[in-house]
A and B are shown apart, each in its own frame.
Chain A
Amino acid sequence: MNFIPPDLAPASSEIFMLIMVCVVMLADIAAGESRRYVAYLLTQITLLGCAILTFVSFSTESILTFHGMFVDDSMADILKLMVYGTVSAVLVYSHSYISDRGMLKGEFFSLILFATLGMMVMISASHFLTLYIGLELLSLSLYALVALRRDSLMATEAAMKFFVLGALASGFLLYGMSMIYGATGTLHVSQVAQIIQSGASSKEVLIVGLVFIVAGIAFKLSAAPFHMWAPDVYQGAPTAVTLFIGSAPKLAAFGFVMRLLVEGMGEMVADWQGMLVILAVLSMAVGNIAAIAQTNIKRMLAYSTISHMGFLLLGFISADTNGYSSALFYVIAYVLMTLGIFAMIMLLCRSGFEAENIDDFKGLNKRNSWYAFITLLLMLSLAGIPPMIGFYAKFAVLQAVVNAGYIWLAVVAVLFSLIGAFYYLRIIKLMYFDDPETVEPLVSNSDVRILLSANGFAVLALGIFPQALMGLSFYAIQNSM
């Protein structure tokens, strides 16, 4: 039997990433304690290098390699570019936070890069096993990141919960995949789709498999009723890690859902639509209502994430290019807002002081009106108030839902987002209407200052000119279907 070497070019950025992870690890050991910035800089260079590789090899059509297990298409490239940007911003935002708390170790950077690699594999997978490998690479790195402060009780507890529930979810997914394999005899996404379409497989087995897969996805997306881990992990993990967990993996999760449900099981849309409707409504209900009761800002944002994931799932329900591109736009907007708001929380932290409670936002307008303004933009955007980008994200998803004939669902969605508006307004109230409890000035490096200002401003500017990002999302989906 002849061995045909696979075409490596479509996976060039992944290969580069893998090499660089090892380089970062070794370089950090060589550089030692005193020159930790080497690892930081190398990590940023790695992300830049990957971005260049992905950009140069941008594919306008689907290129399969590794015997059809790996795909490179427009959606994958665009998602990956977003992931690089997000991870890079995460590093800038969290640099001083982790160094203040003694977490500035080589492991931090290599784990983040491994997680990023996992996301890239997930996004580009066209085989159920590749999907699973990518997901596990991401998840295992995240478990370790959450437990990075091993002397913190909260963090270890959160890591334990995350790990146990995450492993359970992975088990669900694998079980579901094995069912699909049993019914179709293949694990290739495109072949699964063909066999389901031909009707040659047992519908019952497929549905059992689908249920498990959807449950696994819901776990990973933290959609209710599989959301229990999110508040604990968001609260327990160091804020820098929460920022990471809450941002880039959502982009990967979008790719994951696209590959599994849409490309693999698109023929069974009638079956998973109903499941997603339930997940979406429950997530919006649980997320928005439970968030009102929170006093811990990270916990509140965890519930807010749950509700946003519900909204994201709405985009999939309409099951057409319009809906998927709306969902992609939503997830990009969501990541942009999450980055900004967690960065703001880290900015409020000082050495020896963790900004954990929503009361830490009190009187921010009097302490620093510019940051208060940025937070105002972010909060209004999360609440979906125009002219912020969050509104257009909700608008795009809602129009897809209405287009699919689910007007009642759109009404439910806006009613829950009205409830949601309350707790975002509460933050604005604390910042603008209340007096500060401390007059300590906010200290930040200039790179954080510039990036955070740009981030907050982007929420407004992309809202006033949403065409480019909307067009990009549409292009990504249209070109990959």
Chain B
Amino acid sequence: MSFEFPLLSLIIWLPIVFGVAVFATGDDRNAELARWIALIGSVLGFLVAIPLYTNFDSATGAMQFLENHIWFERFNVNYHIGVDGISMPLILLNCFITPLVVVAGWDVIKERVSQYMGAFLVMSGIVNGVFSSLDAILFYVFWEASLIPMFLIVGIWGGPNRVYAAIKFFLYTLLGSLLMLIAFIYLYHASEGSFSIENYHKLAIPMTPQILIFIAFLLAFAVKVPMWPVHTWLPDAHVEAPTGGSVVLAAILLKLGGYGFLRFSLPIAPDASHYLAEMMIVLSLIAVVYIGLIALMQADMKKLIAYSSVAHMGFVTLGFFLLNAYGIEGAMVQMISHGFISGAMFLCVGVLYDRLHSRQITDYGGVVNKMPVFAAFFMLFAMANAGLPGTSGFVGEFMVIMGAIKVNFWYAFLAATTLIFGAAYTLWMYKRVIFGAVASPAVESLRDISKREFGLLAILAISVLWIGIYPFPLTEVMHATVDQLLTHVSNSKL
């Protein structure tokens, strides 16, 4: 499909330009202006992303909305962007979350507003760049650049232990990605001077280099996802990050890792993927079961949700390495759904935290008496997090379990335990926070959610229910791409 207008570039650069404009408003005297520019920028960013969906041709697995220009000739690096059924939904998710984050920080952030809002907008553009890059170096530049705003967001507006969390987040991610860079450079020489990702897909690579490449990619993506045992940065970062930071981290940044597996690991090193699939499945199952148990024991709400994110993302990697259509499509749905649910869960905790400045479960109790509307929303998201049928959380998990049972009954069995553990830790937390008698005078003084908060949660609630009841518009766009990916992966490249 030819689409002359550089739509993708607009989707990438519009938020960045607005972000710079927000920075330019200067210090907190212009905070109101900064907020409005940020809101306009993020909403426009979402609006311009809609044609990506409406003009998307879901009959083909090929790249669409292509743009290709020379970036620097010296190493044959191109500004080559395009989307397929895997990246398009993720871009939409990102553009959808950004305005919510801006609104979520509207009243809460009072210091250095322009820098806060600007950082989120710039990050939104950078993440769109990651999802649409078809050139390895362009991808790498966007990938690493996305660290910078998040590092500052956690470090400046975070909690008491923010410095530790921010630096840990940065160095962990950097470690993985530097080895990925070496893999790219190796592929550049192996492909005789090309950084095109699509060329890498076609490139024949012997088994040993394939395994090494796979491991280099694995380190980069496993840290981002995060997979067990390199997940330890996530709870720290989540706990310290401001609400908006947590939302973006869980909803968007974790998806970069999952996306990386589909765009790089599987198609570039298919033989290594088959060879190491069992290891990946075991690691994913550990994340699902063991991290699920850890989540049960958390006293801090944000930490609990962070661990539940690790467990849910374990489902995503499990789905990928089952290497069948149910698994991969289920994992994709799970990524999108996790974006909505974890974002909503963090927003809910943020609502409570803004009022009581505590994230400890024991400081709450009986919140439903004072905040009935909030309790209803929180209920829905908690159920979705536990994977209740009818919510988006169920669709992805169910598809992945279906995929798993085709491969091995015990994989499916262990994966299905998440329905128990997920329900246990989420609902137990919900019970202790929301139900019971009013726990303290502080809880007594709580006011129910404002219109702004209601709007935010309502939008997310609709999304969660919509994907739970009618996931077809989402699965439809990725069918062709996933089929093509599977055919590709099943052919040996040795």
B-binding residues in A (CB < 8 A): 365, 369, 380, 385-387, 391, 395-396, 398-399, 402-403, 407, 410-411, 414-415, 417-418, 421-422, 425-426, 428-429, 432-433, 465-467, 470-471, 474
Contact = CB atoms under 8 A, between A and B. Distances in A.
B21 interface: no
B193 to A, nearest CB: 10
Interface of B: 26-27, 71-75, 112, 115, 137, 140-141, 144-145, 147-148, 151-152, 155-156, 162-163, 166-167, 170-171, 174-175, 178-179, 181-182, 185-186, 188-189
Contacts of B167: 422, 425-426, 429
B130 to A, nearest CB: 12
Given A399-B188, A467-B71, A411 B144 contact: no
Contact of A466 (B72, B170, B188): B72
A429 B145 contact: no
Given A385-B144, A414-B182, A428-B151, 7 more contacts: A365-B156, A386-B141, A386-B145, A398-B182, A411-B179, A425-B151, A429-B166
A403 B189 contact: yes
5 contacts: A387-B141, A410-B182, A414-B181, A418-B175, A429-B155
Contacts of B27: 369
B170 A425 contact: yes
A466 B145 CA distance: 16
A426 B181 CA distance: 24
A361 to B, nearest CB: 14
Contacts, number: 93
A414 B72 contact: no
B189 A402 contact: yes
A466 B140 CA distance: 15
B72 A470 contact: yes
A402 B137 contact: no
Contacts of B189: 399, 402-403
B171 A421 contact: yes
Given A403-B189, A425-B170, A467-B72, A386 B182 contact: no
Nearest to B188: A399
Contact of B155 (A403, A417, A433): A433
Contacts of B179: 411, 414
B150 to A, nearest CB: 12
Given A429-B166, A432-B152, A432-B156, A399 B75 contact: yes
B206 to A, nearest CB: 14
Contacts of A418: 171, 174-175, 178
A452 B439 CA distance: 57
Given A433-B162, A467-B73, A411 B147 contact: no
B163 A429 contact: yes
Nearest to A410: B182
A229 B186 CA distance: 37
A135 to B, nearest CB: 31
Contact of B181 (A369, A395, A403, A474): A395
A467 B145 CA distance: 19
Contacts of B144: 385-386, 391
B74 A467 contact: yes
Nearest to A411: B182
Contact of B182 (A407, A465, A474): A407
Main SS at interface, chain A? helix
Main SS at interface, chain B? helix
A422 B174 CA distance: 10
8 pairs of A and B residues whose beta carbons are closest in the complex: A467-B72, A414-B178, A386-B141, A470-B74, A433-B155, A402-B185, A399-B185, A386-B144
B72 A369 contact: no
A385 B145 contact: yes
Contact of B148 (A385, A422, A426, A466): A385
Nearest to A415: B178
Nearest to A404: B189
Nearest to B158: A433
A422 to B, nearest CB: 6
A418 B26 CA distance: 33
Nearest to A429: B163
A385 B126 CA distance: 14
Nearest to A405: B189
A386 B174 contact: no
Nearest to A433: B155
B182 A396 contact: no
Contacts of A432: 152, 155-156
Contacts of A399: 75, 185, 188-189
Contacts of B170: 421, 425
B181 to A, nearest CB: 7
B186 A407 contact: yes
B449 to A, nearest CB: 31
A395 B74 contact: no
A421 B151 CA distance: 13
Contacts of B26: 369
Contacts of A402: 182, 185-186, 188-189
B147 to A, nearest CB: 7
B438 to A, nearest CB: 37
Contacts of A466: 72, 74
B239 to A, nearest CB: 16
A301 B458 CA distance: 52
A432 B116 CA distance: 12
Contacts of B152: 428, 432
A410 B186 CA distance: 10
B137 A433 contact: no
A407 B189 CA distance: 12
Contacts of A410: 182, 185
A223 B320 CA distance: 47
Contacts of A365: 112, 156
A272 B171 CA distance: 34
Given A407-B186, A432-B152, A395 B71 contact: no
B72 A421 contact: no
Nearest to B157: A433
A264 to B, nearest CB: 27
B16 to A, nearest CB: 11
A428 B186 CA distance: 32
A318 to B, nearest CB: 11
B178 A417 contact: yes
Contacts of A421: 170-171, 174
Contact of B74 (A403, A428, A474): A474
Given A411-B182, A417-B178, A432-B155, A396 B75 contact: yes
A407 B167 CA distance: 28
Contacts of B137: 395
A403 B72 CA distance: 19
B240 to A, nearest CB: 11
A286 to B, nearest CB: 20
Nearest to B140: A386
Contact of A369 (B115, B148, B175, B178): B115
Nearest to B189: A403
A467 B79 CA distance: 12
Residue in B74, B163, B189 whose Cβ sees the most chain A Cβ within 10 Å: B74
Contacts of B112: 365
A80 B179 CA distance: 36
A323 to B, nearest CB: 13
A37 B332 CA distance: 67
A422 B357 CA distance: 31
A432 B115 CA distance: 11
A425 B163 CA distance: 10
Contact of A422 (B74, B147, B162, B171): B171
Nearest to A414: B178
A415 B145 CA distance: 19
A27 to B, nearest CB: 44
B156 A433 contact: yes
Contacts of B186: 402, 407
Contacts of B74: 396, 466-467, 470-471, 474
A293 B148 CA distance: 24
A471 B155 contact: no
A305 B136 CA distance: 29
